[in-house]
Chain A
Amino acid sequence: MSIVRRTAVPPALAGPALAVALAALLPIAFVAIMIAQAGGPLISALVFRPRVGTLLVNTALLVGIAVPLCVSLALGLAWLTERSDLPGARLWAWAFLLPLAIPAFVQGYAWATVAPSLNGLPAGLLVSVLAYFPFVYLPAVAALRRIDPAFEDAAASLGLAPWAAFRRAVLPQLRVALCGGGLLVGLHLLAEYGLFVMIRFDTFTTAIVDQFQSSFNGPAANMLAGVLVLCCLLLLRVEAAIRGGERHARGGSGAPRPVGRRQLGRATFPILAACGLLAAASVGVPLVTLGRWLVVGGTAIWQWDSLGPALGQTVVLALAGGLLTTLAALPAAWMSVRLPGSVTRIIEGSHTLVGALPGVVVALGLVTFAIHAAPSLYQTTLTLLLAYAVLFLPRALIALRGSIALTPIELERVAASLGRSPVAALLTVTLRIAAPGAAAGAVLVALGIANELTATQMLAPNGTRTLAMAFWALSGELDYAAAAPYALIMMLVSLPLVVLLRARFRPGAP
């Protein structure tokens, strides 16, 4: 109920927010410049060729089939764990979130070693659904919990049988959550590199990396990147159209009641078996594969003189990136809470839009930028951190926005009345209160960075060897046993992510 007055935007905050927005747009601007410089004939020669057609078909089939699969699977699982008497529902809920701790390329590595003949679209679909369905499951569960069971009661009193009541009274209210989760899966599918290389399925992203590795920063890579950006924008449009413009405000506030759970009856055992199969495929296969390689490798694979530095570099990069990204997102986050308006929306939009783009595009843009505009930045840690900041801005922005919104604006006004400047009030009052949420956001970013492969490989200075890079190099040489310790450490490092995400999607969380 806080009324936000139209106040002048403090230049101390608007300046940085604008600068960050422009910096975020930098990589994509350079991709666009490269395409424009190539000229019409070259563009059509590079874009309208069978190779691009194959990639388009592959990518469209992948996204078009895997996303609906993930959404329906996640919806069914969310219903089972939240609304049915499935035995051990709480344990299953954790089991369905655990794939979040397994980097997609480790999932791909596990399946490629279990069934080396797996390849092509069916394999790509199988592994990507296993790796990404939790992205929909998590918001679906959260939304299902927020919906007052009174709606189903009301539908029942109006003559609807339980299934019809769920379909007509509950499902439409889940649409926003399901669309958001589906969009996330789609964007990840467009951006994923390692998984599809492991499973030998060509998408735009794998093709761009190939192109980059063979002809460096040629127009062909940029052209493919341009098409990939268009795919992302199309996906965003499609999601917005399906989601619709409406927002569902919850009507009234009845006392929350415990939800009645449906009895599964004779279906219990088949459903338990299916859940077990899913958990075995999504978590069991990677764990067992990893375990097997660890046993096969024995102590020889624990070479701490290379594991140690890789872990150290990963931690330093992740923490520095997390901090930088959070700081970069701060001005825009503050503006979006305190000064909503069209200018803020544009700045915010440029923060989040670029974050939706695949790492390969951002990396390509930054390489181009460094070569053409700032050669001294080429292959430096700074450029790499910049790429991380651009890629993970949305995560930091969302976490900061939520925690700044928890601080009443009155506190900033009181601080101002006591003589603090707006920036000082922000730093000493709002940020002090928002600190836990901001820290959680920084950790989320750091965890994302720790498992980032594509942009890291393309931008890291010589001598850099993160866990993901080392894992990738070793598994690329088919030394699966030596790669296993790296995968294990990455999964252990990612476990807090599962706990953090689950906590954030609790009802009542910011």
Chain B
Amino acid sequence: MSGLDLQGLRKTFGSMEALAGVDLRVPSGSRTAIVGPSGCGKTTLLRLIAGFEQPDAGRLALDGRVLFGEGAPVPSHHRNIGVVMQDGALFPHLSVADNIGFGLSRRDPSRAGTVAGLMDLVGLPGAMRDKRPDQLSGGQQQRVALARALAREPSLMLLDEPFSALDTGLRAATREAVAALLAAKAITTVLVTHDQAEALSFADQVAVMHDGRFRQIGAPRDLYLRPKDAMVAAFLGDAILLPATVAQGKVDCALGCFAADLSTDPGPCQLMLRPEQLHVSTIAEAPAAASTGEVVGISFGGASCTIQVRLASAPDLPPLRLSVPSRAEHQIGEAVAVAVDGPVHILPIS
């Protein structure tokens, strides 16, 4: 069985339960992102996988080799798991080249060549080899940390919020470059982040963590469009939740009546929509199925505005917050139509 396999991992710190039984499978060569609010236990999980700390219970295996759970735990320096930490943790007393070559044998005659190749691979100019970590920018430091971890050709790569210290522009570019590199080398990867956009764009599989448990694990698109509960829905992006009722294969809410999955139990539920599924238009241009409402608030945000719309069919609900192009120039008090695009998703009442 290749890839990473976690079963029932538990860890408590004093009276605080950091991990309350975690199961996860990361197929060999794939990328998994663990996402969750700060304090949810994701960094603890990463440290257990790396072997910096040991679980209280559970089983941990990599490519069929049991690292924890049978016999003595394998110490971190024998796991061959690469780690890139949040701040890089570059050794301040070593040059860039010595940092990258840290895990390679110093007697290896091909060491210098390997280091040069890795610098090239992560996009660092060769002229930087003798610089000190404090002379590098944040993005360059993270590239050095990645090259250092890649040097030993790890069977698993752990990334602990490695992009969070970078500027917004640099962040996306670095993330894409790292994802492409890891995919090309077919290295099994686990990324920990609190940034949902990063998790969704980086990984083949996303696991949402909350209070020491995985709430849902799946493909990014699945999780985004079909979250299991309101927490997952809200964590992965803006979500509009409306009270609704299921009956006879239909779901009914303030925005109208939609087809429901036949397997859904009848009764009260919640309807989830992503803001991009809602289209605002003038009453005159509205399609037949649209609901009507009144604009009660506008906040200008450049290319798009957020308008608040109170639905005529449900004036007691909090106004819907919808994103519209600024050129539409809506006014407060204006009557608008709201149409729903695409399938709706039903959640249990939270």
Residues of A within 8 A of B (CB): 148, 150-151, 153-162, 165, 168-169, 172-173, 175, 246, 248-254, 260
Do A249 and B85 contact each other (CB < 8 Å), given the known contacts A155-B102, A260-B53?
A: no
Cross-chain contact A168 with B102 (CB below 8 angstroms):
yes
- What 7 A-B pairs are tightest by C-beta distance, nearest first? A252-B87, A158-B103, A156-B76, A249-B134, A157-B83, A172-B93, A150-B89
Contact digits for B13-31, partner A, Cβ 8 Å, 1 yes 0 no: 0000000000000000000
Contacts of B94 in A (CB 8 A): 172
Cross-chain contact A252 with B89 (CB below 8 angstroms):
yes
Closest beta carbon of chain B to A244's beta carbon, Å: 9
A153, A172, A175, A250, most chain B CB atoms within 10 A: A153
Cross-chain contact A251 with B77 (CB below 8 angstroms):
no
Q: Which of B79, B85, B92 contacts A254 (CB 8 A)?
A: B85
Cross-chain contact A153 with B52 (CB below 8 angstroms):
yes
Provide a sorted-by-A list of 6 A–B residue pairs whose CB atoms are within 8 angstroms.
A153-B52, A153-B89, A156-B50, A162-B77, A249-B134, A252-B89
Q: Name the CB-closest residue of B to A157.
A: B83
Q: Is B132 an interface residue (CB 8 A)?
A: yes
Q: Is B133 an interface residue (CB 8 A)?
A: yes
B52, B81, B82, B141, most chain A CB atoms within 10 A: B52
Cross-chain contact B89 with A148 (CB below 8 angstroms):
yes
Q: Which of A161, A173, A175, A251 contacts B89 (CB 8 A)?
A: A251
Closest beta carbon of chain B to A315's beta carbon, Å: 45
Contacts of A156 in B (CB 8 A): 50-52, 75-77
Cross-chain contact A254 with B87 (CB below 8 angstroms):
yes
| In the bound complex, CA of A162 to CA of B78 (Å) | 11
Q: Which of A148, A151, A160, A246 contacts B77 (CB 8 A)?
A: A160
Do A253 and B75 contact each other (CB < 8 Å), given the known contacts A157-B82, A158-B148, A159-B80?
A: no
Do A158 and B89 contact each other (CB < 8 Å), given the known contacts A153-B50, A249-B134, A252-B141?
A: no
| In the bound complex, CA of A151 to CA of B89 (Å) | 6
A153, A172, A246, A252, most chain B CB atoms within 10 A: A252
Do A169 and B91 contact each other (CB < 8 Å), given the known contacts A157-B149, A158-B148, A158-B152?
A: yes
Contact digits for B87-115, partner A, Cβ 8 Å, 1 yes 0 no: 11111111000000011000000000000
| In the bound complex, CA of A154 to CA of B141 (Å) | 14
| In the bound complex, CA of A105 to CA of B141 (Å) | 52
Closest beta carbon of chain B to A215's beta carbon, Å: 51
Cross-chain contact B88 with A251 (CB below 8 angstroms):
yes
Residues of B within 8 A of A (CB): 47, 50-53, 75-83, 85-94, 102-103, 132-134, 141, 148-149, 151-152, 158, 165
Cross-chain contact B88 with A252 (CB below 8 angstroms):
yes
Contacts of B50 in A (CB 8 A): 153, 156-157
Q: Which of A161, A248, A252, A260 contacts B93 (CB 8 A)?
A: A248
Contacts of A154 in B (CB 8 A): 83, 85, 89, 91, 148
Do A251 and B103 contact each other (CB < 8 Å), given the known contacts A153-B83, A157-B76, A161-B77?
A: no
| In the bound complex, CA of A254 to CA of B52 (Å) | 15
Cross-chain contact A251 with B92 (CB below 8 angstroms):
yes
Q: B interface, by DSSP: helix, strand, loop or mixed?
A: loop
Cross-chain contact A159 with B103 (CB below 8 angstroms):
yes
| In the bound complex, CA of A105 to CA of B85 (Å) | 51
| In the bound complex, CA of A168 to CA of B51 (Å) | 19
Q: Name the CB-closest residue of B to A155.
A: B102
B87, B92, B133, B141, most chain A CB atoms within 10 A: B92
| In the bound complex, CA of A306 to CA of B42 (Å) | 70
Closest beta carbon of chain A to B313's beta carbon, Å: 49
Do A249 and B92 contact each other (CB < 8 Å), given the known contacts A157-B50, A159-B152, A160-B103?
A: yes
Contacts of A157 in B (CB 8 A): 50, 76-77, 79, 81-83, 149, 158
Contacts of B133 in A (CB 8 A): 251
Contacts of A168 in B (CB 8 A): 102
Closest beta carbon of chain A to B104's beta carbon, Å: 9
Cross-chain contact B80 with A246 (CB below 8 angstroms):
no
Q: Name the CB-closest residue of B to A249.
A: B134
Closest beta carbon of chain A to B100's beta carbon, Å: 10
Q: Name the CB-closest residue of A to B151.
A: A158
Cross-chain contact A251 with B52 (CB below 8 angstroms):
no
| In the bound complex, CA of A76 to CA of B83 (Å) | 29
Contacts of A246 in B (CB 8 A): 93, 132
| In the bound complex, CA of A498 to CA of B133 (Å) | 36
Q: Which of B53, B91, B134, B141 contacts A151 (CB 8 A)?
A: B91
| In the bound complex, CA of A15 to CA of B241 (Å) | 74
Q: A148-B89, A172-B94, A251-B141 are in contact. List 6 more A-B contacts (CB 8 A).
A: A156-B75, A157-B77, A158-B151, A162-B77, A173-B91, A248-B93
| In the bound complex, CA of A153 to CA of B133 (Å) | 18
Contacts of B132 in A (CB 8 A): 246
Contacts of B149 in A (CB 8 A): 157-158
